[in-house]
């Protein structure tokens, strides 16, 4: 419990992520003491349940906070889903929260393009090859081709941002 509290004091976590962290810690300590780590699985389960029942671990709140954080960074829905799955959030909960999300991929693509100085944020004119590379970069970040193309080929920042607000993201 002490290890779980120390971890949760420093980081937000989902149930599954906390379980993984505790399992790694048990593996390290058990290896040093020549103990069987499988004997501690019940203790880990009880600790995770105790943290969840006391409100220290809440998958829904963790996922909502992570989605908001990732969107502020300009991340696509595909990438956010991958991050949530890596942190142990159930796919059904992640899909539900992503569907409820107000800000969509177009707004996130605008943030990503602004950070990399693509599209209307680039200095100077772009030839077809540069635009192709910018579109490919946004697609590798998980944005759909149509969204990436719309952002890269946009001439007016204000109109693009209005479109992202009007389209719901």
Domain ranges of the chain: 2-53, 59-100, 105-166
pTM of the model: 0.78
Residue-wise pLDDT for 35-50, tens only, equals 888 889 999 999 999 9
The pLDDT value recorded for residue 165 is 62
**Nearest of 87, 88, 84 to residue 97 by alpha carbon:** 84
> From its phi and psi, is residue 119 left (phi > 0), alpha (psi between -120 and 50) or beta?
left
Region 51-67: mean pLDDT is: 93
The more confident residue out of 126 and 70 is: 70
What is the rounded distance in angstroms from the CA atom of residue 120 to the CA atom of residue 113?
A: 8
Residue-wise pLDDT for 83-130, tens only, equals 999 999 999 999 888 886 655 888 889 999 999 999 888 888 888 899
**Nearest of 27, 53, 47, 25 to residue 38 by alpha carbon:** 27
The pLDDT value recorded for residue 36 is 86
Strand, coil or helix: what is 155? coil
């Amino acid at each position: 419990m002490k290890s779980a509290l120390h971890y949760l004091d420093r980081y937000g976590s989902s149930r599954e992520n906390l379980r993984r962290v505790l399992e790694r810690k048990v593996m390290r300590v058990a290896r040093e003491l020549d103990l069987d780590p499988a004997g501690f699985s019940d203790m880990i389960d009880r600790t995770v349940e105790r943290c969840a029942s006391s409100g220290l671990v809440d998958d829904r709140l963790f996922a909502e906070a992570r989605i908001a954080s990732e969107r502020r960074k300009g991340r696509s829905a595909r990438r956010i889903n991958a991050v949530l799955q890596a942190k142990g959030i159930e796919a059904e909960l992640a899909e539900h929260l992503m569907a409820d999300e107000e800000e969509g991929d177009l707004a996130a693509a605008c943030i990503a393009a602004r950070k990399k100085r693509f599209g209307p944020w680039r200095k100077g004119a772009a030839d077809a090859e540069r635009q192709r590379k910018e579109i490919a970069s946004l697609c590798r970040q998980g944005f759909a081709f149509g969204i990436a193309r719309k952002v890269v080929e946009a001439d007016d920042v204000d109109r693009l941002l209005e479109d992202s607000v009007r389209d719901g993201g």
